[in-house]
Amino acid sequence: MMASSGSIDASHYTSSRTQTNLCFHGNPLRHLDPFGTAVNYLDSAFRNIRNLGIISVTSTDTGSLYSKSLNVTMRHYGSNIVRTEYYKELAARMVLVTVARAAARCNKGIEVMLAVAVEHFVLVVVRVLRGPTQADESAKRIRQLIHCQWCEERVFLKQGSMVEENLYRQLPCNCHGSMPGKTAVELGPLWSGPLFNSGFLRRMLCAAVQHSMEDIQPLVKTLICESECTTLKSSVHGPTALINQVECGVVIKVQKVEESGTADHSGKRKTGDEPGNVVKKLKSDGSLEHPAFYYGIHRHSIRGMNMPKLNRFLQYLTEAGFRVSRTHFDPTGVRTDATLDQFKSVLTKYSVPTYTNTTATQNPEETVRAME
Ligand SMILES: [Zn+2]
């Protein structure tokens, strides 16, 4: 996958059984591709990598990543998880915690470039940000998640170590009020920060177009929409549009940093530079809050109702004022900042009872049978 990412300089190529060292746009790129889990190789990968270096990690231990052997998950990742409708994103966020922790042990932070989970592996690519402040900022992104066992609503626990009287209050659903006993589980620790850097992904797409790598382009386009939480395919269609956008200033953050003179050519920050500039950038980006996780449209379909087609439904959600995109993690998943209740109320509004199919009061083209 990384071979599509543009100017990789093979003259710096060194390789061992699990680790490959390359050069990416003048910065070191280290790719870990071990057999199974990568957790044992992360410390050495982060120990002596330069500021703004790129580390990519492939994990193929899908048994523990995809919630099949929970005891192995606990052993290797130290995370408590259960099988959820968003299990693939859960896996990516779990891997990122181990990556962020390995970085923090070396006084480094991470900025996630991309995190993908496909059938047989999870791939995460991060940029290394050297310094204790960056390490602290990354560590703050490690959170617990509350997951409702009834409706699968979920929310990251608020920051802070004070014990709260009723954690259920943080969960937007009211299953706890309407069902007897305990209704939610606490999952994690998980990475709660963003999973994508759209500038990096746009560069990947540029490189894929330049090198005529047709097979990877659909995935990268999906990732760009997902990273910006938009359904506007037009923003990524065609190399001309893409290059124009890049020229119009859609560039990855590292370039902005270099342009504003906070980093010299080797990627090290200059002395006398205002400390924490990168951190401020991270914080301002945090206000945009990339919506975490997704809801499966079939999982939440209304019984006895025909639901709208997925693309129509995305449009309805957008019109209702929510941020919406599809997700590569699940072909029927919807990434949105709407809560599950809001998601369901829009779905209910635009679903029609199944009998209207025969009375033909609705255009049958616009509806599909809801899966049970
Ligand atoms: Zn619930």
CA of 327 to the centre of ligand 1 (A): 22
Q: Looking at the domain 294-368, which fold is it?
A: Phenylalanyl-tRNA Synthetase; Chain B, domain 1 (3.30.56)
Reduce the DSSP state of residue 313 to 3 states and report it: helix
The model's pLDDT over 161-211, given as tens digits with 9 standing for 90+, comes to 889 889 999 999 999 999 999 999 999 999 999 999 999 999 999 999 999
| Sites in the chain below the pLDDT cut of 70 | 1-15, 233-288, 356-372
pLDDT at 282: 43
CA distances from 310 to 50, 321, 331 (A): 44, 17, 10
pLDDT at 236: 64
CA of 171 to the centre of ligand 1 (A): 8
CA of 101 to the centre of ligand 1 (A): 31
For Cα atoms 15, 16, 21, give the angle at the middle one, nearest 5 degrees: 35
pLDDT at 248: 32
CA of 91 to the centre of ligand 1 (A): 22
Ramachandran class of 33: left when φ > 0, alpha when ψ lies in -120 to 50, beta otherwise: beta
Beta strand 27-32 pairing with 54-59: parallel
ipTM: 0.99
pLDDT at 40: 96
CA of 173 to the centre of ligand 1 (A): 5
The domain limits of the chain are 2-159+170-191, 204-251, 294-368
CA of 180 to the centre of ligand 1 (A): 12
CA of 60 to the centre of ligand 1 (A): 32
CA of 332 to the centre of ligand 1 (A): 20
pLDDT at 249: 34
pLDDT at 13: 58
Do you find a cis peptide bond into 308, omega within 30 degrees of 0?
no
pLDDT at 14: 64
Q: List the 367-368 sheet strands across, edge first.
A: 352-353, 305-308, 367-368
Structure tokens at 46: 């982060």
CA of 146 to the centre of ligand 1 (A): 10
CA of 150 to the centre of ligand 1 (A): 5
pLDDT at 357: 52
CA of 109 to the centre of ligand 1 (A): 34
pLDDT at 4: 39
pLDDT at 21: 86
Q: Looking at the domain 2-159+170-191, which fold is it?
A: Rossmann fold (3.40.50)
CA of 154 to the centre of ligand 1 (A): 8
CA of 149 to the centre of ligand 1 (A): 7
CA of 160 to the centre of ligand 1 (A): 23
CA 3/CA 267 separation, integer angstroms? 22
The model's pLDDT over 285-340, given as tens digits with 9 standing for 90+, comes to 444 689 999 999 999 998 899 999 999 999 999 999 999 999 999 999 999 999 99
Structure tokens at 366: 């616009």
